[in-house]
Structure 1
Amino acid sequence: MEISIKAEIARHNYKYKYVANNVGIPESTFYKKLRKNNFSIGETQKILSFIGAKLVMAS
């Protein structure tokens, strides 16, 4: 199952620039990763934690 970071950010009504700045990812890098939905697990956790969503991983 794939997580759409873009969809989660939109669902929580945040601006991409605001999220990028608050999780410590340079804006240009954030937009590149967002376009491909290519964030690491750590980055995904930071983003989801910041916007108030939870990442649940099943084994």
Structure 2
Amino acid sequence: MEVSIKGEIASRNMKYKEVAQAVGIPQVTFYKKLKKNSFTLPEAARIFDVLGSKLVLESK
């Protein structure tokens, strides 16, 4: 099942600002990365950890 970072944040009624702060990414940088969907794997893992989800990679 594919999920998006935006969707996960919205489903938990969190604000992007809150997630950016919790992950330790400057707010402006977080917005830019979110817009381009350009998070590194470690950043994405931290985001999902903050959201209480687990990031799992699987091959196609």
TM-score by length of 1: 0.88
Write the deviation string for residues 5-32 of structure 1: whole angstroms up to 9, x where unpaired: 1111111111000000011000000000
- For 1:50, the aligned partner's letter is V
Runs of 4+ in 1 over 6 A off after TM superposition: none
Task: Answer 1 or 2: higher relative contact order, Cα 8 Å, separation at least 6.
Answer: 1
What secondary structure is seen at the aligned counterpart in 1 of 2:53?
A: coil
Q: Secondary structure at the residue paired with 2:49?
A: helix
Residue segments in structure 1 that go unaligned for 5+ positions in a row:
none
Alignment of 1:1-59 (within 5 A): 3-59=3-59
**What's the TM-score once normalised by structure 2's chain length?**
0.87
Q: Percent identity?
A: 58
Q: How many residues align?
A: 59
Which amino acid in structure 1 is aligned with residue 56 of structure 2? V
Distance in 2, Cα, partners of 1:39 & 1:10: 18
Show structure 2 runs of 5+ residues with no match.
Answer: none
